[in-house]
Structure 1
């Protein structure tokens, strides 16, 4: 699965050219709920320090610093060049797609367990964010943002090849938007999570 993280944020099953496929060691390093949350914040909001993460997560800076070092050991995150001091280090997630779909890793019980922890936490956070947005939409999210969002479910009858073609087209649109606006800044700019799910349903007998 890609932490699409596909082209910085999201999730899917294909591995595209340039995606980093996490090895078993990196998956195990990430397989902690707090580390997934830290990784997600760096993906969505950009560079952070141990102190800023601690404030956002309600943890101690010692705890977030420990988890940052564990992620950095496997190059899941890197220190920001030329920013911060010896006491206040800034960390960021490298640009590019990351895939959890490592066939070798899931051949072992520990690899499967690590992959499951990461995926479960990743999707739990995405669902939390979706429901929080729905609640804000009912109670006061800016109308201009409501008009620029989409929460939609559809069903189509496709062959495997048609499904592959559909996912390629969707990811091309997402990649284009991410690449074009990756470093955009301004008064009206906010992080926007882009979620695309395409998967087969079980048969009626399933």
Structure 2
């Protein structure tokens, strides 16, 4: 991917690519590669409590859809090293109406798995804040916006994230990987 394409939004509207990211094991593998850098299927199997054949299969699926790539200069024989592929940092999901009815379950599963991860992060937050409040930040708010204002707010949020965040290979030495989450939902539908 060219550098000028790195921050162009990627609409993840291919149901097969979306399905590849809707699997919990694959998401954990991607997170590990993103946070800790390159790994082998054996390393990932040990870390995730899985069999090497299982991690190899999931790595091949992630490679097939362009989310990871082999590091040929580091691989030898049967040992293959993998890294996160350079993909846009701004990945957008389709709305249910943008997918055929038979593919909407995949989008639902993608969200379900993602929010399970988010719940685990929320549970970790108090301990992380206590340990190092300079790195664990939180914000909660109630705001009233029109749909157009929310659209602008979201685009400005993404722009800030891209401005202040760095791809792993361009991060300053003192940069740390951070989980950043953003979501809104109507408060009057409780």
Partner in structure 2 of residue 165 of structure 1: 152
SS in structure 2 opposite 1:82? coil
Pairing 1:60-71 to 2, within 5 Å after superposition: 60-71=51-62
User: What TM-score do the two structures reach when normalised by structure 2?
Assistant: 0.80
Secondary structure of the 2:70 match is strand
Unaligned runs of 5+ in 1: 1-7, 9-15
Deviation of the 1:102 alpha carbon = 6.1
* From 10, 15, 26, the counterpart of 1:24: 15
Aligned length in residues? 183
Task: Identify the residue that residue 5 of structure 1 maps to in structure 2.
Answer: none
* Corresponding residue for residue 99 of structure 2: 106
1:20 Cα shift?
4.3
Where do 5+ consecutive residues of structure 2 fail to align?
1-5
Tell me which protein shows more helix as a share of its residues. Answer: 2
Give the match for residue 177 of structure 2: 191
> TM-score, normalised on structure 1?
0.74
**Do the aligned residues in 1 keep the contact of 2:42 with 2:52 (CA within 8 Å)?**
yes
Q: Does the Cα contact within 8 Å between 2:9 and 2:92 map onto a contact in 1?
A: no
The aligned residue for residue 76 of structure 2 is 85
Answer yes or no: is the 8 Å Cα contact 2:129–2:137 preserved in 1: no
CA RMSD of aligned residues (A): 2.7
Which among 52, 55, 72 is matched to residue 43 of structure 2?
A: 52
Higher relative contact order (CA 8 A, sep 6+): 1
